[in-house]
Amino acid sequence: MYKLDFDHPSSIYFVGIGGISMCCLAELLADAGFRVSGSDRAPSPLTHVLESKGIKVFYGQRAENMTDPIDCVVFTSAILPDNPEYIAAHEKQLPCLTRGQLMGQIMKNYQMPVAVSGTHGKTTTTSMISEILLQADLDPTLSIGGILKDIGSNMRIGKSGYFVTEACEYTNSFLDFFPRIGIILNIEADHLDFFRDLDDIRNSFRKFAELLPENGCLIINGQIENPDEITHNLKCPVVTFGPDDNSDYHPADIHYNSLGCPTFTLYGPGNRERQFTLQVPGEHNIYNAMAAVALADRLSIDSGITVRALGAYRGTDRRFEYKGSIGGVTVIDDYAHHPTEIAATLKAAANYPHKRLWCVFQPHTYSRTKAFLKELAQALTLADKVVLTDIYAARENDDLGISSEDLLREVQSLGQECHYFSTFDETENFLLENCINGDMLITMGAGDVMKIGENLLGR
C-alpha cells in the first residue's frame, strides 16, 4: 500500500473529489502541503470551495485528465472498474488508495482520533461532538457527512491532536481506520449489495471495535442485540448508553416541546445527573446526544460546556432541516433512506405542528429498495400522504427488476394513500394542487429529492 510521507508531500489525484468525505480529505492534504487535484461529474458547492483554495478540479471523468505527474490516486467505493480514470490509473500502474485507506493514514497524525460508526445517526452525532469540542476550545479537525450550520461547512482543519470523523461500514472502509475512541450507534441490516446479511455486518462492527487500543474506549448503544458479541474481550474499556439503567448512560423524564424537541434528564456513571434540552426533534436524537455526552465525559470536558453545546446545536444540513414555507405549508428536508431512519423522522414529525403530513420519498438504490421493500412501505405509513419519485440509482447500473411502482403497490396494499410520478415537475404540480395551509411536507431520501421542496419554495 502506498504510504503518504507528510514530511515530503507528494501529488495526489482524487477521483470523485466532490464527494462529501473526499473533499474533506483533499482539503486536509492540500493544507498539509500536498499537491492536490481531482475530478467529479459536475460542479457543486463543495467543488467550488476546493477551487477557491487552489485545488484543480476537472469536470467529467476522462483519462486525459490524468496527464500531470501523479504519485497516488484515491478512489471512493462509488467508482467502478469501468470508470475511465480508474482504467487509466491502472494502465499507468499508479499507486492507488481507497478513501478509507487514506483516512486511516491521516488519522495516525492525531493523538485523539475519534470515529463515529453505526447504521444511522453518524452525521448528527459527529456534528454534536463537533459542537462540544468547538465550545470547549479544543481546536479539533472535523470531517462530517453534512454541513454543520455553525461552521457553514462539512469540515474544519484544527491544529490540536483532536480529530473526529464518521466511520462508514460500507465496503468495510472503516476497518482501515486507526481510531483511539470508537462509537457504535446501532447495527442494522443495510448495504446488502455488499454484505451477505446482518451477521456479516455485525462481524464487521466487531472487527471495527477490535481496532481500538488499550488506552482507547468503545462507546456503544446497549440496545444493540447481543452487544457482548461486539464487546467481548476487547482490549479497551467499554461504555454503554441506552434506554434504562442497564446502560452506563440512560435518560429519564423525557418530554417534548411544541416543535418535537426533547428535554430529558441524563443519568451517567456514578449516578451523575444532568438535564439537557435539544433544538433537534425526535427520540433518536436523545440517543445521538447520549453518545456525544459519553465521549465528552471521556475527554474530561466540563459538564457545563457539554450541556450548553448540545443546547446550542441547531442541526445539520439535510437532517430534519427546515427549508421554508409556501402558502402556509411547512417544507422540511431529510436524508433518511433506510426504513429505521424513515420511521424515526416521521415519528419526530408527529410532534411538530401540522394538519397533514406529506412525505415525498425518493428510494435510494435498487438493491436497498428490493431488500427492504416491505419495511420501506411500513415505515412510510407513518405519513398521512405519500408521494414517490423514481429510484435514485447512485452507484448502481442494474435495476434488479425493481421500481418505485413496486413500492407504490406495497404502500397501497397497507391501506395508505400513495402516489407516484416519474418526473419532479409532475410531483411539484401535484403538491401545489393538493397541499393546503397547515400541512407539513417532508422531502426525504439520500439523492436529489430536496430539489422538489426548493423548487416549490422558489415559485
Residues 6+ apart with CB under 8 A from 403: 390, 391
* Cβ contacts of 226 within 8 Å, gap of 6 or more: none
Rounded Cα–Cα distance for residues 360 and 24 (Å): 30
Which of 98, 122, 345, 427 does the annotation list as catalytic?
A: 122
Helix (H) or strand (E) segment spanning residue 184: strand 181-184
Residue type, 440: M
One of 47, 98, 123, 125 is an active-site residue; which one?
123
Conformation bin of residue 384: beta by default, left when phi > 0, alpha when psi is -120 to 50: alpha
Distance CA 397, CA 365 (A): 9
Torsion of the alpha carbons at 377, 381, 387 and 389, rounded to the nearest 10 = -20
Task: Tell me the DSSP string of 45-87.
Answer: HHHHHHHHTT-EEEES--GGGTTS--SEEEE-TT--TT-HHHH
Question: Is 166 in the active site?
Answer: yes
Q: What radius of gyration do the chain's Cα atoms show?
A: 22
Query: CA 289 to CA 136: how far, in whole Å?
Result: 16
N- to C-terminal Cα separation, the chain: 52
Task: Answer yes or no: are the C-beta atoms of 186 and 150 closer than 8 Å.
Answer: no
Please identify which of the residues 27, 85, 131, 166 carries the catalytic annotation.
Answer: 166
Dihedral sign (CA 295, 298, 301, 304): positive
Q: Which residues are catalytic?
A: 122-123, 166
